[in-house]
Amino acid sequence: MKITSKEITCWQLVLNCHLVIILYRNVIKRSNIEIDIVLRICYLNHIHIWEAILQPFGYLIPHMNKKTGGTEDRMKTLLSPNKERSMRMQQMINHRPLAELDLLDDFLFNALLAYPEYGRKFCRKFLKILFGREFKNLNIVTQKSYGGRDTGLHGARLDVYIEEGDEVEIDSSNVSAIYDIEPDKNNKRKDIDFIAQRTRFYHAIIDSRSLKSGQSYDKLKRVFVIFICPYDPFGDDRMIYTIRNHCVENPELPYEDGARTIFLYTKGRKGRDNESLSQLLDYMENTTRENAVSEELEAIQEMVDVVKEDAEVTVAYMKGFERDQMFLEEGKELGRKLEQENTLREKNRADTEKNRADTEKNRADTEKNRADVEKNRAEEEKRRADAAVEEIEKLRKQLDELQKS
């Protein structure tokens, strides 16, 4: 990265800020201050100047060069006097810098398409390579949200929603179309297994909002849901999977409902006849100047460079990291509370079971005592009855003797 004279002054300011912070945090407790850490963080690793300027305010994610060896651990030791800060610093170090993001990363993809000068240009190039025709009038919305119809119903957030303003000829019909583009690096097995259901939901929620009241069904727009994946969603090693509805009994029977789902697998080897698309997918997975092997991709690379160097984009990325960390901490705190509640619930359940067992034992003891009392009463009644019989026999004998005399 070339540095101008004005930027050199900024770098000096940045270094001074870092030195002040390190001295303030450590000079009282440590005598051996490793100044070279500042140089490695700010200069040798080519961190964007805006990131460096914002670091003193808690926004920068330090990126350590592999050549620095053990500097990472030394930096944690120097700047992280407690375990919590050390863990936070490790999270910051592991966080990918904006300069290393690829177009399959949600943030960079959305930042490029939301960029005023480049959003439509990139979409026209992308869609032209995919569909082989020109795209002129495009309306683009990034992170378009659809709330549930009720508080208890599922909503959706589409990465990039593109609406074609003009009617065009698609499959011999003049219609307008909607395109939902979803870069998806999520390789969790559970999510991949249900990706078909996910696309079904996206189609349904787009359709439900695209037809105005009173309009006939012939005004329903074509909808293309496009997933770009670094994983194979179906295991057939294809670069492109095009999904459409058809009649099971007669697949040749015309059935055009206007719904299409396209899965683009960046590493797929089958169906790589479209060289431009193959090059585009390789580039999107590894967005570097070396992979910009065509004029179209070089033009996209210029756009990407401008977006990555934009100060507002950089700040948004860092704030996004802070927001993610906040959500993570809130999630951890919620997890701890739930764990405590579960522990307390289990303890209460165990206590309840113990009390129930004690109650059953007391009931059993009471029944035993009652049985013993009944037994003793029966024995006493029998003893009395036996005594009464003996007394009667005795009296009878005395009566017999009196009668004889």
Cβ distance 263 to 241 under 8 Å? yes
For residue 334, what pLDDT is reported? 77
Position 59 scores a pLDDT of 42
Average pLDDT over residues 166-171: 60
Average of per-residue pLDDT values in the chain = 76
Under 8 Å between Cβ of 178 and 158: no
Which of 145-149's residues contact partners 24+ apart within 8 Å by CB, and which partners?
146/205, 146/206, 146/209
pLDDT of residue 315: 80
| Cβ atoms of residues 81 and 91 within 8 Å | no
| Euclidean distance between CA atoms 39 and 61, whole angstroms | 15
Residue 368 — φ and ψ, nearest 5°?
-65, -45
pLDDT digits (tens, 9 = 90+) for 132-143: 988 888 888 876
What's the pLDDT at 45? 40
Instruction: Say yes or no to pLDDT of 22 above 80.
Output: no
**Using 50, 70 and 90 to split pLDDT, how confident is the model at 48?**
very low
Regarding predicted confidence, which is higher, 96 or 38? 96
- Provide the percentage of residues in the chain whose pLDDT is more than 70: 68
- Cβ 125 vs Cβ 299: under 8 Å: yes
State both tokens at 85. Answer: 């800060």
So what's the pLDDT on residue 174?
Answer: 63
Answer whether 227's CB lies under 8 Å from 158's CB.
Answer: no
Instruction: Please tell me the predicted confidence (pLDDT) of residue 153.
Output: 54
Going along 56-212, which residue ranges are E strands? 138-146, 156-164, 168-170, 173-175, 177-183
**Residue 112 pLDDT > 50:** yes
pLDDT (tens digit per residue) in 259-302: 999 999 999 999 998 999 999 999 999 999 999 999 999 999 99
What is d(CA 47, CA 344) in angstroms, rounded to the nearest whole number?
A: 48
Pairing of strands 240-243, 259-265: antiparallel
